[in-house]
């Protein structure tokens, strides 16, 4: 248990102590009735302040003053922001209803003002030590955890590529055969990994990072939830493709593939055992069961298929909703980042509307206020433009050039 030791409080000014003692003495109380009301009130107020402050030091009194200012400013901001984000929510509900009924979406269906941003005083630092219980940080699982779970639950170890080029070539073959374009695959890879990512790169453990910040892994940064969802929803296609490879493979290598196929079938069955919702897949993704499924991202046969379907599902979703024009890489990335429904809202918007509609229309309040990119590039047009710019810059890096060559 953590113990903190409080420093002795600063001595209360002697004059104030003496005054308090005089004012609270029996004689003073006896004479109180003969004092003018203004004097009595002033004395009472002084005593109240003295005892309420408990003899606090000037630094503590200044902290309390600043804290009161901060709390008042923050409360005013929260009231304004709450009203704004409620309007965002209502407009989104209206757009969804109009889409379901086949009605056209217009500018009136969006909030066209930008959200309020807090610019009041910062929360002051308490000069006195505070006992704050330390919250243990739940560790984020990493590659070793995924591999251990796969071995313990399925007696399976993913087959890792002999080189990064081998994985890139497998990804390029499957992506092209499935309907992704070279531009889509390479530019999304460049955006997601900075143009240098490996098949097992994990968010946070890249470019010198030492600590995972999420379970996002691979060329298109799949979360454990994505892996569970793809196995549940696209498992039949993964099983079909791997079954075909089994029939084409002779000798000892075939036995290894048959075992991999049996494991894949079990994983798909387990993924399908929960309701087909993001929240249920997210729950499974937090368990060793979901970690084991996520290990398949590392496999030379199944990994490229999972990376492909992470993007392909968005392409097919847009097509099913009547969007026949091929998605640009930046548009596909919007769907990859925000989810298919929200992303399609931006993708189907005419350029004139993109110039006017704030990005806040596609975020929850917490996500927006933590997203400096969306705040700085605060319209749909600006957000797509900066996404394209980052893709342009990172596509010239070694990993992106190598993936482009694999196509």
Can you tell me the mean pLDDT for 58-67? 90
Q: Is residue 398 part of a domain?
A: yes
Residues 367 and 284 in one domain: yes
More confident site: 207 or 375: 375
Q: Is residue 218 part of a domain?
A: yes
Domain hosting 87: range is 71-109
More confident site: 129 or 329: 329
Question: Is the pLDDT confidence value at 296 over 70?
Answer: yes
89-126 burial code (b ≥16 CB/10 A, e <16): eebbeebeeebeeeeebeeebbbeeebbeeeeeeeeee
Say which CATH number the domain at 202 has: 1.10.530.10
Residues 176 and 80 in one domain: no
Distance CA 50, CA 12 (A): 9
Q: Is residue 189 part of a domain?
A: yes
Question: Is the pLDDT confidence value at 132 over 60?
Answer: yes
Residues 89 and 234 in one domain: no
Q: How confident is the model at residue 12 (pLDDT cuts 50, 70, 90)?
A: very low
Residues 78 and 46 in one domain: no
Q: How confident is the model at residue 54 (pLDDT cuts 50, 70, 90)?
A: low
Residues 104 and 154 in one domain: no
Question: Is the pLDDT confidence value at 19 over 90?
Answer: no
pLDDT of residue 26: 46
- Determine contact, residues 37/105, Cβ cutoff 8 Å: no
Reading the block at residue 245, the tokens are 């490879």
Residue 383: which of 316, 405, 347 has the closest Cα? 347
pLDDT of residue 136: 77
pLDDT of residue 40: 52
* Structural domains of the chain, count: 3
pLDDT of residue 244: 96
Note the residue count of the chain.
407
Can you tell me the mean pLDDT for 107-114? 96
The model's pLDDT over 169-185, given as tens digits with 9 standing for 90+, comes to 999 999 999 999 999 99
Residues 149 and 293 in one domain: yes
pLDDT of residue 71: 93
Q: Is residue 125 part of a domain?
A: no
- Determine contact, residues 184/332, Cβ cutoff 8 Å: yes
pLDDT of residue 5: 36
pLDDT of residue 1: 44
Question: Is the pLDDT confidence value at 111 over 70?
Answer: yes
């Amino acid at each position: 248990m953590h113990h903190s030791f409080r420093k002795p409080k600063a001595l209360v000014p002697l004059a104030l102590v003496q005054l308090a003692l005089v004012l609270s003495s029996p004689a003073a109380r006896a004479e109180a009735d003969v004092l003018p009301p203004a004097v009595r009130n002033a004395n009472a107020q002084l005593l109240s302040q003295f005892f309420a402050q408990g003899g606090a030091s000037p630094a503590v009194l200044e902290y309390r003053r600043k804290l009161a200012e901060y709390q008042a400013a923050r409360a005013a901001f929260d009231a304004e922001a709450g009203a704004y984000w409620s309007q965002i929510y209502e407009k989104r509900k209206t757009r969804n209803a109009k889409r379901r009924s086949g009605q056209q979406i217009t500018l009136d269906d969006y909030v066209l003002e930008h959200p309020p941003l807090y610019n009041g005083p910062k929360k002051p630092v308490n000069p006195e030590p505070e006992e704050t219980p330390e919250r243990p940080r739940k560790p984020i699982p990493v590659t070793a955890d995924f591999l251990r779970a796969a071995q313990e639950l399925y007696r399976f170890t993913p087959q890792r590529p002999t080189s990064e080029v081998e994985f890139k070539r497998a990804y390029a073959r499957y992506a092209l055969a499935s309907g992704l374009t070279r531009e889509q695959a390479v530019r999304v890879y460049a955006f997601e990994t900075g143009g240098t990512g490996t098949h097992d790169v994990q968010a946070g453990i890249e470019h010198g990072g030492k600590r995972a910040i999420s379970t996002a892994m691979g060329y298109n940064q799949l979360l454990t939830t994505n892996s569970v969802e793809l196995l549940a929803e696209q498992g039949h296609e993964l099983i079909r493709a791997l079954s075909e490879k089994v029939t084409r493979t002779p000798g000892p290598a075939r036995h290894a593939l048959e075992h991999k196929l049996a494991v894949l079938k079990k994983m798909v069955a387990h993924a399908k055992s929960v309701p087909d919702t993001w929240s249920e897949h997210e729950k499974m993704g937090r368990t060793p069961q979901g970690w084991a499924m996520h290990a398949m991202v590392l496999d030379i046969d199944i990994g490229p298929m999972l990376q492909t379907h992470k993007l392909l599902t968005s392409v097919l979703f847009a097509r099913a909703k009547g969007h026949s024009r091929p998605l640009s890489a930046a548009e596909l990335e919007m769907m990859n980042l925000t989810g298919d429904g929200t992303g399609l809202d931006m993708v189907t918007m005419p350029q004139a509307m993109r110039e006017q509609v704030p990005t806040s229309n596609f975020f929850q309040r917490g996500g927006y206020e933590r997203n400096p990119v969306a705040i700085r590039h605060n319209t749909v047009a600006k957000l797509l433009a900066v996404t394209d710019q980052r893709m342009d810059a990172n596509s010239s890096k070694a990993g992106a050039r190598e993936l482009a060559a694999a196509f």
